[in-house]
Amino acid sequence: MKRIVNRMLITIGILAMVFISISLVIFLKLRTEISKMHPIETKKITDRIYTMRDSLVNVYIIRSDSGYIMIDAGNDIEVIKRELAKLEIDKSEVVAIFLTHTDNDHVASISLFEHADVYLSKEEEQMIDGSQNRLLFQYNKLHTKRYKTFDEGQVFNFPDITVQCIPAPGHTPGATCYLINNHYLFTGDALSLQEGKVHEFIKMANMDQDTHKKSINKISTLKNIKYIFTAHHGMTDDFFYTFSDWQSHD
């Protein structure tokens, strides 16, 4: 009996060491990837476009004649309150929030905007209705039932703003880019930028890496893009240079 117990303890110890080793490797890899993130500080970027920095993520705001349109909703509701105040934007003037996807760092402040319609793709709904887990035992949550879903390629028309929904799955099944007025592309986590060049997003954070790369291929074929705005890796105003080293993946 004692021998059996000893063997069990040894086995448990070995498994614990393996688990700790794997966890350490993942932690170090993730820390390295996070160190490459360079979100933009809260500011006005163009006459119509603003950004708010919330930890390592950017939320973007587009001013329209009918109110403000947000791309994503940040990581911390208190930070978003503070950054809105810096920009002198009243939360009641936000009329729409378009989610690139539903990971926690993109949805935290939704409840703050009581007058805003919340939009996400139909393919992303599986991430919040309990049918698709994000990690082993983790599910995404939206903390609101007042959201609307849209179809692939759908276009929303505001008085002076058009929002085209461009599917970019891979990071999550329903990840979406938004093209504003045919020139301003908001990508969420559909790609990253390093030294002005496009790269894949963190592989361990992508649910389907092959699909993720194909989505970047599709983005690379877009025309007349003046700006690319990412969630974690800043922005660029040189579309051609950004994709000049990208190797297409079938």
Going from the C-alpha of 209 to that of each of 27, 67, 107, 183, 202, the distances in angstroms are 20, 37, 23, 27, 9
Amino acid at 223: K
pLDDT digits (tens, 9 = 90+) for 163-191: 999 999 999 999 999 999 999 999 999 99
pLDDT value of residue 9:
62
Helix (H), strand (E) at residue 13: helix 2-35
User: How far does Cα 9 stand from its chain's mean position?
Assistant: 43
249 C-beta neighbours (distance < 10 Å), count: 13
Q: What is the pLDDT of residue 91?
A: 97
Could you say which residues of the chain have pLDDT below 50?
A: none
- pLDDT at position 136, please? 76
Asked if 99 and 127 touch (Cβ cutoff 8 Å), the reply is no
pLDDT value, residue 3: 66
Q: What is the dotted CATH code of the domain comprising 41-242? A: 3.60.15.10
Structure confidence by residue, pLDDT tens digits, 39-74: 999 999 999 999 999 999 999 999 999 999 999 999
